[in-house]
Chains A and B, each alone.
Chain A
């Protein structure tokens, strides 16, 4: 079996419709070309590799900057929801509080527990962080700003989403700590009870749009109606499921501070813990982005450029997450399973039925 040639690989990338308008491709490509021409190197393979690397770095920076803003926004909004001020000392209106916290984590010692499994303990960090960063690689942010635009983007995003709970179980086991292990088990139980209704809800969107491609789903909504209107039940189910999936406060049973010490993150110290926390916000960002793309019309909107509309909607959805976090008490693990299997699964099936009905007789409703 022979690998395809370099030209074949680059051809896959270059043949995509609209890629010449993709800033996340054209800007890195021009930078790579400029660097290579400055060094008098004429290797298309190297150009291709360099383009990917630069595009990855740009995407990483964009996601990280957004995550930093998200953490700041959450702390401020959470403060207002709870009738207090958020951070306000470090930097303008406390914006650089995150950096101060990150610096504090950096100067802490990284402890490996004595009886912990070093390989599992450390590799989990890589798996969790890498898989979470990878989600945004398949989620387009605008018609002219995306990393990849695959035909199965929606499915791929949720496949990558579902990697983390396995790593969480490994982390809980490798930490050699009863609370960590309980947190890992809870993460698995929660994933099993929420993945099913969530994916069925996603499937209803796919049924209506007829595609797994994010861009085409958004285009369908732009030309018809946002899916939140016909699939309002699905929207609510998806909202609850995605909050459970990204393990935010009403459903953060895997790292419940009041019950388990910090769940599966208990034994991680210093910058490792900071990376896990950062990762949870990356997952929040990705969850909000997917929700915006498949239910709220993505980047479509009047006057403002698409990328701006996308971020406005993402931050609005994130505010919804913060609102839920500020208001709702944590559910018990048995309530989590009850809610997932008894309420959300039937509701998602009803939603699926509505979607199928609208797909067949949707001409009446211009769907």
Chain B
């Protein structure tokens, strides 16, 4: 204690203790009172602050884009998203997330996880209500119009590490769309002792036009042969992809079609 009181290292002295803070507050007074200045305070109910575009406010769902992959519900740390069937507005129903905003902590993980940019964090931040139940939304109740949720996220796409792939087809079965197609590789069939040939080794090929980057195939793969990589390094970008593999895949495709 005595060291603290008598230490000479952090002595600010009269200048630092009295005059500097007084000068600072005087400067503030002059800045806020004269020459058209005004205090920094925002008169909140009357004025609203200009929020940045990536402000994390209330969540919104673009129902047209939702593919029902449940990535958001799986990644949500607070379990505030739950999947349910709901009407998208034209009579048809769809498997979409419902939201309990009272439990939401605005971490934004669901928006990052959403493969089809159906989830969006809006600029609305006045979320107070009288009743807690008013903050539980069915899918169509927290829906956004597509033009309110700009689609600008680079998607990751699944990429195959062939050395791990056993051709089991789990990714094909997990894919919600017709993205993955299991094709046989000619010449890989083993010859049995009785002279017949066994099944050929299969490999998934991806139709990236249809892929929504939901990563269900990656989760389904039992041998870690798939990984989600950003668009620029995946097979959909021919500039980066080694030409050899590209040719190989095309060859396989042609053979399959033939």
Range of interface residues on B (Cβ < 8 Å):
10 to 19
Q: Is the CB of A328 within 8 A of B21?
A: yes
Q: How far apart are the CA atoms of A77 and B29 in the complex, in Å?
A: 8
Q: Using Cβ atoms and an 8 Å threshold, which residues of chain B touch A323?
A: 22, 25-26, 29
Chain B proximity mask over A81-107: 1 for CB below 8 Å, otherwise 0: 111110010000000000000000000
Q: How far apart are the CA atoms of A289 and B28 in the complex, in Å?
A: 27
Partner of A81, one of B17, B25, B43: B25
Quick check: is A224 within 8 A (CB to CB) of the other chain?
no
Q: Select the stretch in B32-40, B58-66, B111-119, B223-231 that faces chain A.
A: B32-40
Partner of B25, one of A84, A85, A88, A327: A327
Q: Using Cβ atoms and an 8 Å threshold, which residues of chain A touch B25?
A: 81-82, 323, 326-327
Q: Is the CB of B21 within 8 A of A327?
A: yes
Quick check: is A16 within 8 A (CB to CB) of the other chain?
no
For the complex formed, measure the closest distance between the CB of B46 and the CB atoms of chain A, giving whole angstroms. 11
Chain A proximity mask over B192-208: 1 for CB below 8 Å, otherwise 0: 00000000000000000
Quick check: is B24 within 8 A (CB to CB) of the other chain?
yes
Q: Is the CB of B32 within 8 A of A327?
A: no
Q: Is the CB of A83 within 8 A of B28?
A: yes
Q: How far apart are the CA atoms of A328 and B16 in the complex, in Å?
A: 10
Quick check: is A79 within 8 A (CB to CB) of the other chain?
yes
Q: Is the CB of B40 within 8 A of A327?
A: no
Quick check: is A324 within 8 A (CB to CB) of the other chain?
yes
Quick check: is B41 within 8 A (CB to CB) of the other chain?
yes
- With CB as the reference atom, state the residue of chain A lying closest to B24: A327
Quick check: is A108 within 8 A (CB to CB) of the other chain?
no
Partner of B22, one of A85, A88, A324: A324
Q: Is the CB of A85 within 8 A of B21?
A: no
- With CB as the reference atom, state the residue of chain B lying closest to A343: B14
Assess A84 versus B26: contact at CB under 8 Å? Given A327-B21, A328-B18: no
Q: How far apart are the CA atoms of A83 and B24 in the complex, in Å?
A: 11
Quick check: is A342 within 8 A (CB to CB) of the other chain?
no
Q: Is the CB of A80 within 8 A of B21?
A: no
Q: How far apart are the CA atoms of A327 and B40 in the complex, in Å?
A: 18
Q: Using Cβ atoms and an 8 Å threshold, which residues of chain A touch B41?
A: 79, 83-85
Q: How far apart are the CA atoms of A327 and B32 in the complex, in Å?
A: 16
Show the binding face of A for B, using Cβ within 8 Å.
Answer: 77, 79-85, 88, 323-324, 326-329
Show the binding face of B for A, using Cβ within 8 Å.
Answer: 17-18, 21-22, 24-26, 28-29, 31-33, 39-41, 43
A sample of 27 cross-chain residue pairs with beta-carbon separation below 8 angstroms, ordered by A number, consists of: A77-B29, A79-B41, A80-B28, A80-B29, A80-B32, A80-B33, A80-B39, A81-B25, A81-B26, A81-B28, A81-B29, A83-B28, A83-B31, A83-B32, A83-B40, A85-B39, A88-B43, A323-B22, A323-B29, A324-B22, A327-B18, A327-B21, A327-B22, A327-B24, A327-B25, A328-B17, A328-B21
